[in-house]
Chains A and B, each alone.
Chain A
Amino acid sequence: ETGVTQTPRHLVMGMTNKKSLKCEQHLGHNAMYWYKQSAKKPLELMFVYSLEERVENNSVPSRFSPECPNSSHLFLHLHTLQPEDSALYLCASSPYSSGTYEQYFGPGTRLTVT
């Protein structure tokens, strides 16, 4: 499946580094999402963008900064992360941001913070 792509697939960074995760969807969807998936925890919604406007910010620490330059691209900028931020970061898209639409997930970025 290549509807939603994410790069990089794996990332190791130190706590003082700055890095960015990239997501691209080729489905013509209007909504994009960032989720965090930690071991033994449910999927945690971080941010929702609808038509390039942020509509949801789930009390995420400011060391995570999203950017949505257009409806096909979504970034997650990372800086001064903590070891507990190590997780799988999943991007998803859906036709619209209403929960009545199924979400299409990318393969994820496995992030390790050392």
Chain B
Amino acid sequence: GQQVMQIPQYQHVQEGEDFTTYCNSSTTLSNIQWYKQRPGGHPVFLIQLVKSGEVKKQKRLTFQFGEAKKNSSLHITATQTTDVGTYFCAGYYNQGGKLIFGQGTELSVKP
């Protein structure tokens, strides 16, 4: 079935280090979304990628969509304690018509 695999499950970094989380799908995605959930909070939409090879930046966050539209990554440069939380990718498949969330990557940042 359609599923989105996300790795790693956990990442512990020292403040100032970089962080990357990856999402992979076995089948081509129509688009992919990224969400952030702070501890004790709810998922909040960050960005959507639609085009093959698309790269978008939000300050220290860089989002990429693979050329084959089967994988995506979120990279954070020079992490800060405010980056703590769980980052989810969510892939949309035209067939089936629903958003499927990855397992999430929980980021902790040590000051």
Contacts and interface: CB of A to CB of B under 8 A. Distances in A.
Contact of A102 (B6, B48, B50, B103): B48
Interface in B39-98: 41-45, 48, 50, 88, 90, 92-93, 97-98
B98 A90 contact: no
Interface size class of B (residues with CB under 8 A): 20 to 34
Given A48-B98, A99-B97, A100-B31, A105 B104 contact: no
A107 B41 contact: yes
Interface string A52-84: 000010000000000000000000000000000
A30 to B, nearest CB: 15
A78 to B, nearest CB: 20
Interface size class of A (residues with CB under 8 A): 10 to 19
Contact of A42 (B44, B45, B101): B101
Interface of A: 41-43, 45, 48, 56, 90, 92, 97-100, 102-108
Given A42-B102, A42-B103, A99-B33, 18 more contacts: A42-B88, A42-B101, A43-B43, A43-B88, A45-B98, A45-B101, A56-B98, A98-B92, A99-B93, A99-B98, A99-B99, A100-B31, A100-B50, A103-B33, A103-B45, A105-B42, A107-B41, A107-B42
B45 A99 contact: no
A98 B33 contact: no
Contacts of B101: 42-43, 45
